[in-house]
Each structure stands twice: as structure tokens, then as C-alpha cells.
Amino acid sequence: MTVTSVKPGKKKGQHFIHLDDGRSLQVSESVLGQFYLYPGKALIEQEIQEIEAASDLQAVKAKAYQILDRRAMSRRELVKKLKEKDVAESAAESVADFMEEIGLIDDAQYAVMVVEHYSAKGYGRRRIEQELWRRGIEKERWEEALQALPESNDKLDDFIRAKLRGELPDQKEKKRIADALVRRGFNWEQISAGFARYKATIEEQ
């Protein structure tokens, strides 16, 4: 087969390669240069298949760039998003590898961002671990990120004070607040200590 013409498409960086057997190939600027395509160039069938595969991979990369432009995410989240867009798993994994290589995906850095974000919202360690798991971050990344987790006593104490406003709770109210704190990722030992600090503060007043 021979390339009969190379014409730009409507989108920036898009080109159409026309072959003498009637076929047309849509390629990106990078694929055009990668295979050095020009009118009159002879191609064998294997080369055409390689061009098509490279073009498909470029299209997946474009989707990945669009996804990551919206927000940071983990490798697993990106692969999931691409598969939701009918991208084959092998292609999604390959593009995720590429995004890691160029630094657009960094699960260790992303884990730290998640910890900082949910810590600032007043959540405890358990809830933050749930968020790390939900976002597909491997557990080996957790410990390093959680080392940056500040003491949560202040957040817990602020929550109790805001709910009780200087009053001592009855058992029903205490349970309601405790349940809410459990949902926010605090354990019973932390919650009990928080109530004890609150009670001591009220009794001192």
C-alpha cells in the first residue's frame, strides 16, 4: 500500500492518511512524526496495524489527560475511569504506566493529599483510611502518608464542644455524639477521652 495524501483534520493535531486501497487512517501529530508518514510512502500491512495501534493509544492518552485535568487521582482510579469509557484494560494500564512515568500520577503524593484534606475536615484515622482504600491507594502507601496526620484531639474536642455548647450530656445525647464521631473515624478510646476532657473543662468553669 502507498500513502496517497496526508490532510489535516478539523481538530488541532489531527491528520488523515489516505491509502491507495481506499482506506483512511486518523492519526495524531506525534504518530505522523513517529512513522514519518508522507504522500508516496509505501507501507506493508504490519506497519498499518502498528500505526492504528499507536493512534488508538494516543486517543487513550488524550482521554487520560482530560480526566487528570479535572482532578488528581490514584492510578487505580484512572484505570477505572478509562475502562468506564470503553478502553480495554491493557490499554488503560499501559497509559497509566505512562502517566506515572511523566509524573501526572503519583500515588504516594496523592495519599498525602487525601490525608491532609480529610484531616482538615476533622476526620479521624479510621475514616481517612477508608478514603485511602476507596480511592484505590495501595496500603503500602498509607503509613508514610498517615505519619503526616496531626493530633486529632483538637478536632474531636471542637466537635464535642460545638454539639454540647457548655452543657453536660445525658446518655442519649452522649451516644448520639459518639456515634457521629465513630462515623468520622474516631475510635472509642479517643471519644471517651474527649468526653472526659470536655467534662473536666465544664467543671472547672
Could you give the 3-state DSSP secondary structure of residue 17? strand
Region of 13 (left: φ > 0; alpha: ψ -120 to 50; beta: rest) is left
Asked if 125 and 131 count as a contact pair (C-beta separation under 8 A), the reply is no
Q: What percent of the chain has pLDDT over 90?
A: 25
CATH number for the domain running over 3-101: 1.10.10.10
The C-alpha R_g of the chain, in whole angstroms, comes to: 28
What one-letter code names the amino acid at 191? Answer: I
Higher per-residue confidence, 100 vs 169: 100
pLDDT digits (tens, 9 = 90+) for 113-143: 888 888 878 788 888 888 999 999 988 888 8
What's the pLDDT band for 205 if we cut at 50, 70, 90? Answer: low
Every domain of the chain and the residues it spans = 3-101, 107-146, 153-204
pLDDT surpasses 80 at 38:
no
Q: What does the CA dihedral 68, 69, 71, 72 come to, rounded to 10 degrees?
A: 50
Q: Edge-to-edge strands of the sheet including 14-19?
A: 3-8, 14-19, 24-28
Higher per-residue confidence, 73 vs 14: 73
pLDDT surpasses 70 at 204:
no
Check residue 144 and give its pLDDT: 78
Cβ-based neighbour number of residue 36 at 10 Å: 7
Report phi then psi at 42, rounded to 5. -90, 140
Check residue 83 and give its pLDDT: 94
pLDDT surpasses 60 at 20:
yes
What average pLDDT is seen over the chain? 84
pLDDT digits (tens, 9 = 90+) for 63-95: 999 999 999 999 999 999 999 999 999 999 999
